[in-house]
Structure 1
Amino acid sequence: MFSSSVRSFAALAFAAGLLSGCQSVSSVLESPEPNAGPCPSALSLYDAHRLVEIDGEVAYENVGFTGEILAVRSLCSYYGERPILANLELDMGFGRGPAANGQSRTYEYFVAVTRRDSAVIHKEVFPITVRFDEGEDRVYLTETIDAISIPRADETTSGLNFEIIVGFELTPEQIAFNRSGQRFRVAAGQD
């Protein structure tokens, strides 16, 4: 099952007067002017790209709800002194393990804009509620984040100076589990 929802990402601002208009990337792409350079990299953070709830020792029968960011795609536009406007699509897979309680779970994921390999400029957290039908243990969704605005210092500042990073909001134990390399994948053992 695939579905889509559209989310708004708050405009970034370094000063009160530096806010972009409400244009989407689609409308900006109609301009005949090419980007001044490449788009920012868009990726999921390794330590936060999956979520596994485990109640007790690490064993399949103790797995509750799971989530995984399967793919990240972006499209951007910028020219002249305008800010970079980016749209983001996230393909996500969610699982309901043997220890899961209930038919739905609200997950939280973040989208952060960073200076490349440096500081976070802006981070926003989004909730996503996933409902599992009776007998269903997997759900696949595509989330769309529209109109991420990244101010540039001047027209020579390219998208290479920035990254758009996504991941789940996790507990320290969930981060440690991810770093350990252990896995309970949503589609494990499936064709």
Structure 2
Amino acid sequence: MRVFAGIAAGLMLASCSSNAVTRAFDTRNNAGPCPPAAVLYDASRIVELEGEEPNFSNITYTGELNGIRLFCRYVDDQPLRANLELDFAFGKGPKADANRHEYRYWVAVTRRSSKVLAKQYFSVDANFAGEKVTGQTVTLEDIIIPRADSTISGANFEVVVGFDLTDDQLAFNRQGRRFRLDAGQ
């Protein structure tokens, strides 16, 4: 329970920043590997619709997680501290009613391919500034990866990311459907 509380506290301390990730760490080689970081495929995109029919004319906003990078640092027998960079792409559809839109996403720290140790929700604000598509890179700093002592490798953990989806949006993604507002550009 103390491990979970520590992870949760570490994730809660994570903050968005536009600063370079490399600034947060010194240049010494790591004592071990960083945990793998990945976007959960079923939650890698979001399509928000207005109306019953899932067609192009009913799209309000779309989003995709296009890339993820994790940078970590080993310090003695302490938990790993990591920074996470996320690359987002956003689209504004025909039914969109504003030039700004907030997207919710989550970050989870897991044991390798199994138990979720901590999960926290974040949001990113897309500013379309009159455009139909835009993108943004977000940096989350000071994510805590638990390890009991210095013999535990970061390879025993994973960091997984995805959009916060409704059941209908998840079913839409699992059916292989998608709309890309930048297609043909």
TM-score calculated relative to the size of structure 2: 0.84
The code of the aligned residue for 1:125 comes to Y
Give unmatched runs, 5+ long, in structure 2: 14-20
Indicate which of 97, 119, 124 corresponds to 2:115.
Answer: 119
**Aligned pair partner of 2:161 in 146, 166, 169:** 166
Indicate how the Cα distance of structure 1 residues 187 and 118 shifts in structure 2: closer, same or farther if over 3 A, else same.
same
Seen in structure 2, the aligned counterparts of structure 1 residues 13 and 185 have a Cα distance that, compared at 3 Å, is farther
Structure 2 equivalent of residue 139 of structure 1 = 134
Question: Are the structure 2 counterparts of residues 48 and 174 from structure 1 closer, same or farther at C-alpha, using a change threshold of 3 Å?
Answer: same
Contact 1:86 1:146 in 2 (8 A): yes
2:35 to 40, 65, 69: 40
Give, as a single letter, the amino acid of the residue that structure 1 aligns with 2:3. F
Asked if the contact 2:80/2:145 (under 8 Å) is kept, the reply is yes
Q: Give how far 1:130 is off.
A: 1.5
Q: CA 1:146–1:93 in 2, change beyond 3 Å: closer, same or farther?
A: same
Which sections of structure 1, spanning at least 5 residues, go unmatched? 1-11
Aligned length: 174
CA-to-partner distance for each residue in 1:73-124, whole Å, 9 max, x for gaps? 1111114312111111001000001111222211111111111111111111
Q: Determine what percentage of the aligned residue pairs are the same residue.
A: 47
Contact (CA 8 Å) 2:4, 2:118: kept in 1 or not?
no
Query: 176, 180, 184: which is aligned to 1:185?
Result: 180
Distance in structure 1 (CA, Å) of the matches to 2:152 and 2:71: 17
| Shift of residue 159, structure 1, vs aligned partner | 0.8
Question: Which of 49, 67, 73 is matched with 1:77 structurally?
Answer: 73
Instruction: Give 1:133 shift.
Output: 1.5
More helix by share: 2
Task: Name the TM-score, length of structure 1 as normaliser.
Answer: 0.82
